[in-house]
Structures are given as C-alpha cells and as structure tokens.
Amino acid sequence: MTMPMRRRPPDRLLGGACRSRRHACAACALLAGLLAACGAPRPACPPAPAPAPLPPAPEPGEAPIVRVLVLESDRAFTVSVPRARVFEAAGDGWTPVFEISGTFAVSRAGDGVRLRQRGGRSHDALALEIRPDAGGLFTIEDIPYRGILQARPGGSGIAAINVIEIDDYLKGVLPSEIGHLGDGLFEAYRAQAIASRSYALSKLEEKRGELFDLRSTVMDQVYRGVRGENARASEAVDATRGLVGTWDGEPIRAYYSSCCGGHTADIRVGWPWKTPYPYLEGVRDAPPGENRSYCAGSGHFRWEAKWSGTDLARILQKTLRSELGEVVRPFNILRDIRIDSRSASGRAAAITVVTDAGTWRVEGDRIRWVLRPDSPTGPILRSTLFKMETRRGGGRVRSVELIGGGNGHGIGMCQNGSIRMAGLGMSAEQILGHYYPGIAIGKIYR
C-alpha cells in the first residue's frame, strides 16, 4: 500500500501548561525577536498549482463518498451487523451473494478475502462488501460505523475500508481533532467541519486509483466511527453541509495544527517537499494591531527543551539515521549543532549537525522528528519555532537549550487560535479567511 509521502500528522490538542507564569513571560520575551520578523519582506509567491478535476460525486449535487481505511491487519478481524447484504467483487462492480446477520470473521484467503460465520458458512471472494440495511451500523472490533464495509486484500493481510458519505465521516472526525467544545465556541466546530471537509475532498482525486482515500489516523484525520461522535460536533457538520473552502474552484488542502505559537508556518519552509498552495504561506495569528496572539492561552504557546551534549548525541545517532537514511554514518562526538536559516515567521528552516563522522543538514518540519526531547523514539519536538542556545567546550557540544512556541507543524489553521476567535464572536468564515487567506467558501453539494 502506498504511504503518503512524508506527510506529517496534524498534532492533537494536548494538555499541559507552561511550567510557571514567570517562565512563560521570559520565553515570550525571548521569542518576541523571532516573531517580530513576521513583517519582513516575503519571497514572491509561486504560481498557483494547476487545478485538479473536481472530486467525484455520485450524482450532481449529492454528497461525495469517501473511502477510509479503518483497519489493516495480518490477522482475521470480527464484524457484527444486525442485518446486511453481502456483495462480491465482479469485474468493475459488485454482485450480490447473500444476506447475513450476526457476527463474522473476515480473513485473508489467498489473493482474496474470506467471510466466515461462527460455526457456519464461509465465502471466499477477491473482495467483499457488507451493506447494512438502511440506517444500520456495522461493528468492527467493538467500534460501530455508519456506511458500508469493504474487505480487501492489502499488503500481506487484509484491509477494512469504510465507504461512507463524507458528512457521516466528518461526524466521527471532529471531536477527535478539536476536542469537545462548549456552546459559545460553536463557530470553531463549524470552521473545523469546513476545514476537515475541504481536506478530505482535496485528497479524493489523487487517491482515485488507490485502495482508499484517507487513513483514520493522524496521517490524515483521526476518525473513530460512531464512537468518535458528539451531538454538538454533528450539529456543526449538518449546519455546514456541502460547505467547502476553495481556491481556483477546487477544495483546499486545509492542513491544521494545534497551536502556531503566534504565527502560522509557511508550507514552503515546513514541508518543502509538498505542493506550495498559496493560501498556506503563513499568517500572523493576532488581531490587527495587537500583540497578544489568538492562541496565547494555549499551554503550548511557549515551552522549553534541554539536553546535555551526550544525551542529544545519543538521540541524534538514531533520529538522524531514521530521517535521513544510511547516508548518516555512526558517530561518537557531537561537535556542533546550529540553526542555518529561518523563515520569515521565525521558524527554523534548516539546522546543521556536525559530528566526528560527518555533517548533516535537516530541513523543515523534519527537524521536529530529529530533535526529540526525551528519547529517539519518544514524542517529537513540539514545533520548529524556537531559539537555540548551544554551549560548546573541548571540541564538543556540552548542552543545548531551546525556548520555543507552539505545538504542531503550524501550517494552515491554528486550532487554539480558532477556538479563541470563536470565543471572541467571530464566524467560521472569518476564522477560515484568516488562516487560509484568499480562499472562497461555497456550497458544492446539497
């Protein structure tokens, strides 16, 4: 199965807070210089990417269907359904085979899949589709889902794909992606619904020939079926039905992350390996003429990270290799580490690591995967918006201290900022217009 190229996950809204108010203020002061650079001249915009065809819709005006990978397993998995029709793949379509009710095991069988009722019949096919009766749910491993289940061979095992109308999918996404919001923050739910819908639709065309459109993890958007729903988020999905952010008439690739630290990131700096959509060049996240950022109340707005030279060397020995590959030779001594260049918004655009076995450069958001605070496999660094202080002595790095801001890749909508803007009385349209400048918002299905 094809993995999306170097896609980095949108970060969750995490708990935690600055260690002390004094620390937060000191950190703010130190980062102020970085953020002051926000007004610096910006590089010229690249031309807008060529428009892709519109996402497929079953009938003009009807809601698109998305295919979401909900489980990928080398072992059999269990499906329960009150009543459903089973179809098998035949040519380009599906042929009905029988009706089922109860609990079944789905497993790989040669180049295809097998459906077996406990103690009962079994059926093999190249692929199977289980279509619950109208309004019915199916359950995989105790998680109920709306829509249809496709079971297909995938990799060495089996893939469970939920084929579902996009708005039903979004209802299972919103609470996992932006949390449970109070009544005064409904516009943040509406903004998230429009952003998540736009993101999903923007993926459909490029995934058309593949097994599925979206993963149900942070690789795309976290989707937990009916178990992930709540009433208020579902209301926001219904209230925005069909509404999509567009650029040149196409759904926008609406990336978002938890907290931008005061300025959202430029995609050309964070993910130089991805399409540089012009609405993702980064914005200052504060009301015009004011200093306090919309996301300043987040516990991630300012943070710090520290390593001894030996601890950081131990981490880099593993993380550099996993990010840059075999070109990184084993080393013993970390001689230097420094920020090479910064984006206009103050983020580290590239760092250089000098060791006794070679010098390596790490660019963009990949820096977060290399500078892990605790261990080579622990959580990644919260953001690339940081100031670095390196103490050197005796030909090696003695310690490194970062004072940083924000949590996540920082590209597109800042969710903490969005929640604050909603709390200040702004509409979803105003929120999205702030984070994705120049987009239009329109209804593309009824």
Query: Cα separations (Å) of 403 from 23, 31, 264, 309?
Result: 10, 8, 17, 17
C-alpha dihedral (305, 308, 309, 312), degrees to nearest 10: -50
Nearer to Zn ion, 166 or 178 (CB): 178
What is the b/e burial string over 255-283, where b = at least 16 CB atoms within 10 angstroms of the residue's CB? bbbbbbbbbbbbbbbbbeebebbbbbbbb
And the tokens for 120? 């009962």
Stretch that binds Zn ion, among 74-82, 177-185, 220-228, 413-421 (CB under 5 A): 413-421
Closer residue to Zn ion, CB minimum distance, 65 or 295: 295
| Residue 28 interacts with Zn ion (CB under 5 A): yes or no | no
Please say whether the beta carbons of 332 and 364 come within 8 A.
no
Which of the ranges 134-142, 159-167, 235-243, 416-424 carries the binding residues for Zn ion, by CB under 5 A? Answer: 416-424
Contacting Zn ion within 290-309 (CB under 5 A): 295
Instruction: Name the 3-class secondary structure at 23.
Output: helix
| Smallest separation (angstroms) from Zn ion to the CB of 388 | 21
**Structure-block tokens of residue 73:** 């397993």
Q: Is 214 helix (H, G, I), strand (E, B) or coil?
A: strand
Q: Contacting Zn ion (CB under 5 A), which of 79, 200, 243, 260? A: 260
Taking CB under 5 A as the criterion, which residues in 369-398 touch Zn ion?
A: none
Kindly compute the dihedral angle of the four CA atoms of residues 59, 62, 67, 68, in this order, to the nearest 10 degrees.
180
Sign for the pseudo-dihedral over CA of 313, 314, 317, 322: negative
Is 245 an interacting residue with respect to Zn ion (CB under 5 A)? no
Which window, 118-126, 274-282, 359-367, 412-420, contacts Zn ion (CB under 5 A)?
412-420
Residue 126's alpha-carbon distances to 92, 111, 258, 416, in angstroms, are 12, 7, 41, 46
- Considering only residues 262 through 291, tell me which ones interact with Zn ion, judged by CB under 5 A: 285
Shortest reach from residue 440's CB to Zn ion, in Å: 23
| Closer Cβ to Zn ion, 132 or 417, answer by number | 417
Minimum distance of Zn ion from residue 413's CB (angstroms) = 9
Complex with Zn ion: residue 162 or 258, whichever CB lies closer: 258
Query: Facing residues of 427 across strands?
Result: none
Q: Quote the radius of gyration of the chain (alpha carbons, Å).
A: 24
Distances (CA, A) of 291 to 263, 287, 295, 407, 420: 11, 8, 11, 19, 15
414 contacts Zn ion (rule: CB under 5 A): yes
Largest Cα separation within the chain, whole Å, is 76
* CB-nearer residue toward Zn ion: 147 or 410: 410
Report the distance separating Cα 94 and Cα 103, nearest Å: 22
Stretch that binds Zn ion, among 58-66, 254-262, 345-353, 357-365 (CB under 5 A): 254-262
Instruction: Name the minimum Å distance from CB 343 to Zn ion.
Output: 15
Dist. CA 77–CA 140, nearest whole Å? 7
User: 38 or 414, CB closer to Zn ion?
Assistant: 414
Q: Which is nearer to Zn ion, 177 or 285 (CB)?
A: 285
In the complex, minimum distance from the CB of residue 405 to Zn ion, in angstroms, rounded to a whole number: 9
Select 260 or 432, whichever has its Cβ closest to Zn ion: 260
Nearer to Zn ion, 55 or 417 (CB): 417
Whole-number minimum distance, CB 67 to Zn ion, in Å?
Answer: 32
Q: How many positions of this chain bind Zn ion (CB under 5 A)?
A: 5
- Interface with Zn ion (CB under 5 A): 260, 285, 295, 414, 417
